[in-house]
Amino acid sequence: MNTDLKLDHKDTQMRIAEAHRLCAAVTATNKSLIVDPSSKNASLLTKAGYITQIGAGLYTLMPLGLRVLNRIENIVRSEMNSSGASEFLSPVIHPKEVWSTTGRWETVDVLFKLNSHSGAELCLAATAEEVITNIAKGLIRSYRDLPLATYQIQSKCRDELRPRAGLLRGREFRMKDLYSFHLDSTELERYYEQVCTAYQRIFARCGIGHRTVRTFASGGVFSQFSDEFQLLSDSGEDTIFLSDDGKVAINAEVAKDAVALEAAFGGAKMKLTECRAIEVGNTFKLGTRFTDAFDLKVINPQGQLQSVLMCCYGIGTTRLVGAIAEVCSDELGLVWPEQVAPYDAHLITLGVNDSAVDELKYKTIKALTGSGVSVLIDDRSDVRAGEKFHDADLIGIPKQVIIGKHASESRVEFKKRGVKQADIVDLERLQGIFRP
Ligand code: ATP
Ligand code: MG
């Protein structure tokens, strides 16, 4: 016996605390409840215990769901920080006055409006251009204060006409919203492209880069086009036309326009394929639409007062959880990309009241958590092997470790989700698989 891995009682308690047990407190897979059977992400995520619905477009993220969201948001955060943006957090309740400044109090039809008992009129944050421009007005005085880029990851609320498709269109959802302010259009274009590149890195790091396409779309207030980042998926609401090489796309709403086609494909005749897609992010050049409304001007290097240019950039982080679930699954359940899986390892033990199994379980947990691997343990004593395997496939953690009939003193079974064949490996080799 390898004495290094020998465990005393205190040690085992500590190791168990570092990993998490599959039990009601962490997750309860729910085979009977299918809330929205027409939505793949809603039914998969509900059955596997990631979310529960409490109303139309309103979901609680259960511990597993929150872990996926946190991993996605940390990827988004690290790429935003690398793009030179600093993080802020604004309130979810906004006074009517800031929205009235741009006239959007009347025109944004999805605003949730509230009345305070003091008589004040308020709304819930649907987006934050008004709030951040109001703040920027206090920060930016001269051209030396530009460019300025700042973002938040915050809950947004929209009274959507048809909240649907699980996490894809909620009435409350999480969004990363970045805003940038510029002195001139050259600097704006440079930063805008830098953010679009960061977006592509974000989707690649979330494991969906190969099927997310930058897409020409209408709707820039200032520019002729905006950009959408569209995840190819049959369950998407949007229709896009994709180029042969899969690198450029145009939203069907703008594709009828010859100018748009010219801008997207540079006049080259291309075979385009019609696809359905989920908008996971978008970027807009806003020009002076918001800054003029708040009278945000600076003294330029020539000593003249000039308007400030602005862009905004969104990513729906809860929509991403749902969108990844839509495209990363098979007939048995979810198959998370490693980078966003709720845990690195799903450990299943078989055999009840078996001290050898318990000993090996603790040694395995020690070996994994000790090298920074997060572990979900299924050592339920009242559940049969078949059900444990079924739940593990449903939950979709990409690497499974099994302590069962093929296990010996320090050897366990290792299996990838979606692959039938398991390998027998010793604990040292197991550590290498998780942390090569
Ligand atoms: P859509 O076209 O899907 O209605 P939008 O163009 O109104 O979205 P923005 O206001 O720019 O989107 O929001 C930025 C991002 O927030 C979107 O790209 C999307 O990923 C996400 N998002 C928008 N609305 C919702 C919603 N109701 N539920 C979940 N995510 C959303
Ligand atoms: Mg849109």
Nearest-Å Rg of the Cα atoms of the chain is 25
CA of 280 relative to ligand 1 center, distance in Å: 7
Given the CA of residue 167, which atom of ligand 1 is nearest to it?
29
Residue to probe by mutation, ligand 1, list 110, 169, 286, 318, most atoms within 8 Å of CB: 169
317 CB within 6 A, ligand 1: no
Rounded to 5 degrees, what are φ and ψ at 88? -130, 175
281 CB within 6 A, ligand 1: yes
Residue whose pair of structure tokens reads 């930016």 in the numeric block: 140
Stated pTM of the model: 0.93
169 CB within 6 A, ligand 1: yes
Exposure string (b/e) for 144-180, b if CB count within 10 Å is 16 or more? eebbbbbbbbbebbbeeeebbbbbbbbbbbbbbbbbb
pLDDT of residue 415: 96
Determine which residue's CA is closest to atom 19 belonging to ligand 1.
316
Contact 283, 179 (CB under 8 A): no
How does pLDDT run along the chain (436 residues), one tens digit per residue? Answer: 333 444 455 555 555 555 677 665 455 566 555 566 789 999 999 999 999 999 999 999 999 999 999 999 999 999 999 999 999 999 999 999 999 999 999 999 999 999 999 999 999 999 999 999 999 999 999 999 999 999 999 999 999 998 889 999 999 999 999 999 999 999 999 999 999 999 999 999 999 999 999 999 987 555 678 999 999 999 999 999 998 888 889 999 897 777 777 777 776 677 889 999 999 999 999 999 999 999 999 999 999 999 999 999 999 999 999 999 999 999 999 999 999 999 999 999 998 777 888 889 999 999 999 999 999 999 888 889 999 999 999 999 999 999 987 777 789 999 999 898 999 999 999 999 998 6
Residues 8, 11, 16, 17, Cα dihedral to 10°: 150
Residues in the chain, total:
436
- Which two tokens mark 403? 């302590």
